[in-house]
């Protein structure tokens, strides 16, 4: 578990509320990732980069394009890191994107993100612990494909709540397994997951419970307020505005 807490979110240490455009940006990243069949890891990393960047940068909420530009650049970076094939920067800007950014504008934003993250894109994620738990404690993922897929979906659905990044990757993985296992009718429960840690690596039950409650709360919000489908993307293409490189303002 060494190093897994290095990039925990610090954006919510104060009483500040999450910016409203966060959930819209994450929804867009998830939809585009599904469209191009990106891995869950790529999706998670993109949102993690966005969280880490916003921890040290203020974006003007009234203007929607800065957050969208950040979303495009973060997804582009994660795809370049993890995916065997990456669409062009223009092809990446689909699924209800209100603005279209020139490739050089996105590249400029990518460089700003890389500098802000100290060029550290490969980080510890819940998926590293997920693979470890399945192989060493539950069974190979291909033998428990339904549960494994469900746990990954739980994690991706939960990143819509930025406070998830306050929890360490191991805690997120453990809470997601418990949440998914409850529906899978397995013998895995909270006490079972706690027992997977050695005495020298104690994972407090309260940490998992808090993360579990956050995950479950996000699931309930999705059920009551589902995200818009991607079917509207084609009808909105004519309304998209193109941003140029020189001043980053709508043409």
Give the integer Cα–Cα distance in Å for 81 and 83: 6
For position 8, what pLDDT does the model report? 59
For position 248, what pLDDT does the model report? 47
For position 139, what pLDDT does the model report? 67
- Same fold: 21-122+230-243 with 126-224: yes
For position 131, what pLDDT does the model report? 83
> How far is CA 224 from each of CA 161, 219, 220, 238, rounded to the nearest angstrom?
15, 9, 6, 30
| CATH T-level topology, domain 126-224 | Cyclin A; domain 1 (1.10.472)
For position 179, what pLDDT does the model report? 87
For position 154, what pLDDT does the model report? 94
For position 178, what pLDDT does the model report? 86
What tokens does 184 get? 């899978």
Identify the CATH number of the domain defined by range 21-122+230-243.
Answer: 1.10.472.10
| Residue numbers in the chain where pLDDT is lower than 50 | 12-16, 62, 199-200, 229-239, 245-251
| Every domain of the chain and the residues it spans | 21-122+230-243, 126-224
For position 135, what pLDDT does the model report? 77
For position 197, what pLDDT does the model report? 61
For position 143, what pLDDT does the model report? 65
């Amino acid at each position: 578990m060494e190093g897994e807490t290095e990039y925990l979110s610090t954006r919510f240490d104060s009483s500040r509320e999450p910016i409203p455009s966060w959930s819209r940006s994450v929804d867009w990243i998830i939809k585009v990732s599904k469209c191009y069949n990106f891995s869950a890891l790529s999706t998670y990393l993109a949102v993690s980069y966005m969280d880490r960047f916003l921890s040290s940068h203020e974006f003007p909420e009234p203007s929607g394009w800065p957050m969208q530009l950040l979303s495009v650049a973060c997804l582009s970076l994660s795809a370049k890191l993890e995916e065997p094939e990456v669409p062009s920067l223009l092809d990446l800007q689909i699924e209800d994107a209100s603005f279209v950014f020139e490739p050089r504008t996105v590249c400029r934003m990518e460089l700003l993100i890389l500098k802000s993250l100290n060029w550290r894109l490969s980080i510890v994620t819940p998926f590293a612990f997920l693979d470890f738990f399945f192989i060493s404690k539950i069974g190979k993922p291909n033998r428990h494909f339904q549960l494994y897929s469900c746990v990954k979906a739980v994690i991706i659905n939960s990143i819509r709540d930025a406070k998830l990044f306050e929890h360490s990757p191991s805690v997120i993985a453990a809470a997601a397994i418990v949440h998914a296992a409850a529906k899978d009718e397995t013998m895995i429960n909270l006490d079972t997951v706690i027992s997977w840690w050695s005495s020298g690596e104690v994972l407090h039950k309260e940490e998992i419970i808090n993360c579990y409650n956050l995950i479950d709360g996000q699931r309930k919000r999705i059920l009551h307020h589902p995200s818009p489908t991607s079917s509207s993307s084609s009808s909105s293409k004519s309304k998209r505005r193109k941003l140029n490189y020189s001043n980053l303002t709508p043409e």
